[in-house]
Amino acid sequence: MKLNKTKMTIQWYINRLKCMSSGEIVFRLRQHVKKIYENIRYQHRYFPKVHLMLPAYNIFNVDNAETRIDSITVTIFGKKIDLGPKINWHKDYCTGKEFPQEFSKNIDIENEKYGSVKPVWELNRLHFMPKLALGYRKFNKQEDLDLFISITSSWIDDNQYFKGINWFSNIEVNLRLISWFWSWNFLEASKLLEYNKEFKDFVEKKWVPAIYLHCKYSSGNRSKYSSANNHLIAEATGLFVSANLWKFKESEKWLKDSKHILEKEIVKQHTVEGINREEAAGYIKFVTDLFMLAYIVGEKTGNRFSDVYVKCLKNITYYISNLVDNKGNVPGYGDDDDSVILSLDSHDKVNNWQSLLCSGATIFQDPVLKSITNRFDFKNQVLFGNGGENIYNSILADKKPRESILYKNSGHFILRKETGAKEIYMHLKNSPLGYLSISAHGHADALSFTLNVDGFPYFIDSGTYSYGAKPKWRNYFKGTLAHNTIRVDKKDQATIGGPTIWLDHYKCKLIKAESNPEMDYILATHDGYRKSGVEHVREITFIKNKNHFIIRDMIQINDSKLHIIEIPFHLNPKTEVLSIDKNNYLLKHDNSRAVSVQLDNRLSPEIISGQDEPILGWYSNAYFHKEKARVIYNQIKTNKSIVITNNIIIE
């Protein structure tokens, strides 16, 4: 077992090197040298004596605080955890295991004996602290403030600079900074300092020095080269909002540098059509939250962003407005680890997609964006205050039915028919694997589709489950078989090089795409199976007056070898599946119209659910969660080119 682990580690380094440019290799070597210096800082228990050069007055003023936590209870990936009187900041509360309290960058975060790093980091993002600060703001009870001071002091005492897993990753440092940014605003800390001596001592001796160390770490450990994805955006946002609030001697430089990064990355990491290049829907809402927070802070502090930035932000918001169905669902393509930057609504689960559209409607005063939202939620109350709510309420929503939209340059196609409260919605993906050389959060899902009817997702993307799960589970959920496309010879469309590494990226090609009131038509292909001598071309026709999708898969065999062709259709676990006859199924759900599936007569389908060997028939609708789900699975062997035609009709 240990030998296998060593082999896997060596192979991971080999694969990682394959994805690096010569410039990145030099950068990584410099990082290694820098680590020696940082270890010296750790050994000397570095904790600076710093002070704010100017008072840190509120950037956000909360007009209506509506939430409060009554105990130190947090939810980590759907699991409620009582942390007790003494929080262990290095413990994985999901498994009970614990990471070592040693120099952070020497810790093997993949070592299973320590547990999983994601639950530890989720706790240490401190998302529950702004809620506690709001509790104090609303009820003005000293016990709430005492609890805030106690928890924050505990974190600082147990996580000295570079000690432990919580100083391993710069994105984690910055998400914690953002939580402290919110907490400072919600407490109205600058006012508290004027009359509360205990709080003043805590701020000056502990909190401000810890904030400074976080800013210093953020500035000195930026993600670069093949790692410069959503991490870099989070890092720049954390430093930008911090430098606007807390004024240290370096703050102006931090402000300038972080703003420059945000201006550059919003363009680099999105297509001209506003689609995030990581090809992961979950990260769209994460980075859009970050870009919006930076924009609003910039507006409030006079550090405004350029017209180019604002235009990109608007394009992103418009893509989201087309991506959501009429119930606020999105196709869950690519990775999603449920990351947020502000979690406040404790009474009901807020749809963050609609919350983002609410923000966009308020910023751009846009009737179309307003029409897709359902309310001015508490997060937007925090961001914009009563003035923002008045703007939102003054916008007359444009309730015209949404139509199909084809993002031809980006490889995303939304086929839609809206009639009142009824909607047919298909998302077809034929875009690049992901962003940069490792495509960390993309899935091998070229030509995959999802289908929602009346707000219910019938045909689904299988989800993410976990980055740190056993390789077979991670590989399944990101692999081709977990998607509604075709797999050839039991191989993925690209080669997996690690949990967040892809090798041999495929290229997608759009052959033809058109849309009109009567019909949508897409013809596209990719070269993911070029080494196998096979090409997959998919044609989708949506005949709107008949609610009819025709899916034609052209499998072009360029050699004489026998090939295995797999065609899965992944169904929502809540779907009722009725077998009409051998190749015909009726899919039903209480809150939507039924769907008829008519498969090619040459196929021999079988229903598979919750299979472990080989893995098939699983669905993950949240990080660290998986459940059994039915798959209509088809397999055919051929040494000749064939065309397979399947029909989906909404009744």
Following DSSP, what letter does each residue of 500-557 receive, concatenated?
TEEES---EEEEEEEE-SSEEEEEEEE-TTGGGTEEEEEEEEEEGGGTEEEEEEEEEE
Query: Percent helix, strand and coil across the chain, each rounded to 5?
Result: 40, 25, 35
How far is it, in rounded angstroms, from Cα 570 to Cα 461?
A: 7
Higher pLDDT, residue 22 or 491: 491
Is pTM beyond 0.85? Reply is: yes
Spatial CB neighbours of 552, under 8 Å, sequence gap ≥ 6: 538, 539, 540, 541, 643, 644, 645
Asked which of 26-35, 322-331, 467-476 is least confident by mean pLDDT, the reply is 26-35
- Residue spans of the domains in the chain: they are 46-268, 275-400, 403-650
Locate all alpha helices (DSSP H) within 203-345, ordered by sequence.
208-220, 230-245, 251-268, 281-301, 307-323
How far is it, in rounded angstroms, from Cα 118 to Cα 357?
A: 28
Locate all alpha helices (DSSP H) within 334-404, ordered by sequence.
352-364, 367-372, 378-394
- Using an 8 Å Cβ cutoff, are 276 and 439 in contact? no
Q: What is the mean pLDDT of residues 273-281?
A: 99
Per-residue model confidence (pLDDT) at position 66? 57
Percent of the chain topping pLDDT 70: 96
How far is it, in rounded angstroms, from Cα 428 to Cα 526?
A: 13
Per-residue model confidence (pLDDT) at position 341? 95
Q: Grade residue 346 by pLDDT with cuts at 50, 70 and 90.
A: low
Per-residue model confidence (pLDDT) at position 42? 78
**How is residue 583 annotated by DSSP?**
T
**How far is CA 250 from its chain centroid?**
31
What are the tokens at 129? 């602290």
Taking the chain, what is the end-to-end CA distance rounded to the nearest angstrom? 53
- Own/partner pairs, 624-628, CB within 8 angstroms, 24+ separation: 624/77, 624/78, 624/79, 624/94, 624/118, 624/119, 624/465, 624/466, 625/77, 625/78, 625/465, 626/463, 626/465, 626/473, 627/573, 628/573
Cα atoms in the Cβ-side hemisphere of radius 13 Å centred on 269: 29
* pLDDT over 90 at 7, yes or no: no
How far is it, in rounded angstroms, from Cα 215 to Cα 566?
A: 50
Q: Architecture of 46-268 per CATH? A: Alpha/alpha barrel (1.50)
How far is it, in rounded angstroms, from Cα 570 to Cα 449?
A: 10
Q: What is the mean pLDDT of residues 390-405?
A: 96
Tokens 């993600």 sit on residue: 223
Rounded (5°) CA angle 292-242-171: 75
Q: Grade residue 348 by pLDDT with cuts at 50, 70 and 90.
A: very low
Q: Grade residue 161 by pLDDT with cuts at 50, 70 and 90.
A: very high
Q: What is the mean pLDDT of residues 613-641?
A: 98
Which CATH class for the 403-650 domain?
A: mainly beta
Q: How many CB atoms lie within 10 A of CB 213?
A: 22
Coil vs helix vs strand at 1: coil
- Using an 8 Å Cβ cutoff, are 474 and 499 in contact? yes
Spatial CB neighbours of 604, under 8 Å, sequence gap ≥ 6: 582, 634, 635
- Using an 8 Å Cβ cutoff, are 446 and 508 in contact? yes
Phi, psi of 28 (to 5 degrees): -65, -35
Element (H, E) at 577: strand 576-581
**How far is CA 73 from its chain centroid?**
24
Coil vs helix vs strand at 123: helix
